[in-house]
Structure formats: C-alpha cells, structure tokens
Structure 1
Amino acid sequence: MRSSYVATVYATPLMLPHRDGLVVFTSSSGGVHYAFGPAYGVPKAGTDKMAADMAVDFKDVGITAVSIWMGSLLTDRVRTIIAGNPDKFGHILETAETPELTGHVVWALYMDPRRMDVSGQTLIGAELAVKYGIKDEDGRQPPSYRQLFGVHPHQQQAHVMR
C-alpha cells in the first residue's frame, strides 16, 4: 500500500495542471472475504479504501481514483505452476485472466468520458471487460467474482470528515 500511495503522490503533480487523470489500484475480492490469511486480505481492503479516500481528495480537480479487482492472473509463474501439476491446478485455467486484460480495461476506463462517475469505487475487472466489450486471449470472457462466489465490493459511505 505504501508504494501505491507514494507513486500517487509523485504522479499527482503531473495530472493536476490538466485537471484530468486516472489513478488505478489493483486489488482483489480478498479485501471482503477470507483469502490466504490476513497478510493477503488486509492490504486488499486497505487498497480499496485508499482509492475511495483519494477520490474524495481528487473530486474537485478532475482526477478519477478507483480500485480494480482482478481475477486469478495467468502470469508466467502461474502458468508454470499449472503446467507442473495440471491435475491439481488445471481448473484455474477455466476462470483466470491475463494481466493484459486488466491493461485493456484500464485503457478503456481512461478513455471513458464518464469515468468520474465511478471515482472512489472498487470495480471488478471482469465486469468492466464486459461493459467495454473486451475479451481476453483466445476470445475468453473471464467471469466476475460476483458471479463465481457471490462477493462484491463494499460501498463507501458518503459522509466526509475533514
């Protein structure tokens, strides 16, 4: 979380003169349900909250801040693990998504003239892919964790204390 915060501190002066920009944090549903223990889940919840709070600070300067939940990612490391034990891990291929999918989703969100409407929210990457008509490699459409597991992002309250 610290590196994400610091990166945003350094990126903000580049966006302020344009009164436009997009800050995207990547997270996962582990922020709202148990996943791999507190060392995994707590930073995910914190990342979602950081996006929500930054959106409050950025509201009047035209910078959008969001957190995007990615699904299981088919990184080179994960592909190697699956290939090493396909009987145990092969099922991951059915629902996983590539890191490139998130990149395309972020670009589509950046190009969306209504992106400020979602500022402060935690969004699900697979759902954004459907909204923007983006498919993953081989034409796959990864499922949303909302569909798979019935989990969804927490809604932040509108109350602001300064």
Structure 2
Amino acid sequence: QEQGQLDILVNNACALHEQLTEPGGFWQKPLEIVDMLNVGLRSAYVASYYAAPLMTKQRNGMIIFTSASGAVHYVYGPVYGAHKCGVDKFAADMAVDLQDYNVAALSIWMGALQTERLQLLIESDREKYGYIENMTETTEFTGHLIWALYTDNNIMAVSGQTLIGAELAKKYGITDEGGRQPTSYRETHKVAPPPRYSNIIR
C-alpha cells in the first residue's frame, strides 16, 4: 500500500519447536513439532498467493524461499525435512506458473544462521554442535544474495531452481561479515539440490 508495488517477497517464517533437536524418533517428540509445516509451508504459500497478483500485474518480481540441505538428507526428523523439501518444490512449481509474467521463484539453501537460538544450541552440547560455529552465516548474508539475484538481468534463466547460498556468494563476489566466505553444502555435507524435470501436467 505504501509503495504501490511489490518487488521481492522472502518467505522465511517457520515454527521451530524447542524439542525438535532432541534425540529420539519422531513419535517420541511432541506432536506440536508438526506446526513447522503449518507455519512454514502454509504461510509461505499464502504470502505467495497474495504476492503473485501484484507481481504478475507489474510483470516483474521475485519470490524467494529460504531453505537448507535438510531437504535432501536427514536433519532432526521428518518434519524438518518435509518443510525444507516443500519450500524447494514451491519454488519449482510456482516458477512454472509465473514464467510468462517475468516473475522468478527461487529457493536458497542458507547455512546455519548466527542467531541466539543457534548459539544456545551450540552451548548446550559443544562436543556435538561445536563444529557448527565456524560454518555460520550472518542473517544479513542471504539478504545480499537476494539483492544480487534480483538485479541480475538473467534471473529468469534460473527461476524454479534451488540454489546454494555459499555458491551464489562466490558467483556474485559477495562475502559475509569480516570477509568470510561460507562453504558450500557440496563440500561440507556432500549433497546438492536435486534436478528439476521439465515434464508439466496441467
């Protein structure tokens, strides 16, 4: 309403239950952990639903989903993985619908973020989580990557893809705070986003 347009939507919200990272099978943790899907996936869909008419009308815009490598390997249980996998698929499929309107949809695998919550997790068991500390990214880092994508004239060529933030940083010459260059999940976890196939069924 204030600006009369919407250029970038970043879907980043999710509900992280405090017992998500505790040991045990998914049935041994509180059922409320599944709220991550309701808040994370549903809110991303709803926000994109309302953003799309604005962006398609102006024939310009970008919808971003923040994600992580848990989309393709086990992290904290099935709910976490389903959320990450889900937003990656949102980007892939929304890109198909948005293609003719010059609106891009992308998912970005972020690294571990330097938040108070993560620091508390590291401090709770340094033997188990201490290694994460040297792999963290500032919360601003992905913001710089998003702006680089938005100002890239070839953005539509990668619309629908899931991209690794650390690799985008190298492509655009972006470093994190203190000149740090985060490492790609391809190196640290030996994983990568899966391919997207061109089959479209309507």
CA distance in 1, matches of 2:189, 2:126: 23
Structure (1 or 2) with the larger CA radius of gyration: 2
CA distance in 1, matches of 2:129, 2:74: 20
CA distance in 2, matches of 1:29, 1:69: 6
Higher helix share: 1
**Residue 19 in structure 1 maps to residue 90 in structure 2:** no
Q: Secondary structure at the match of 1:65?
A: strand
- How far does the alpha carbon of each residue in 1:66-92 deviate from its partner, in whole angstroms, 9 at most, with x for none? 110011111122234445665654322
Using the size of structure 1 for normalisation, the TM-score is 0.94
Matched residue type, 1:94? N
Q: Secondary structure at the match of 2:136?
A: coil
Structure 1 residues without counterparts, runs of 5 or longer: none
- How far does the alpha carbon of each residue in 1:22-62 deviate from its partner, in whole angstroms, 9 at most, with x for none? 00001111111111110100111111111100000000000
CA distance in 1, matches of 2:128, 2:105: 38
CA distance in 2, matches of 1:88, 1:35: 14
CA distance in 2, matches of 1:136, 1:124: 15
CA distance in 2, matches of 1:50, 1:88: 32
Q: Which protein has greater RCO, CA pairs closer than 8 Å, 6+ apart?
A: 1
Q: Provide the identity percentage.
A: 55
**Residue 111 in structure 1 maps to residue 160 in structure 2:** no
Matches within 5 A, 1:123-134: 123-134=163-174
**Residue 151 in structure 1 maps to residue 194 in structure 2:** no
Q: Find the counterpart in structure 2 of residue 77 from structure 1.
A: 117
Q: Find the counterpart in structure 2 of residue 120 from structure 1.
A: 160
Structure 2 residues without counterparts, runs of 5 or longer: 1-40
Using the size of structure 2 for normalisation, the TM-score is 0.76
Q: Secondary structure at the match of 2:197?
A: coil
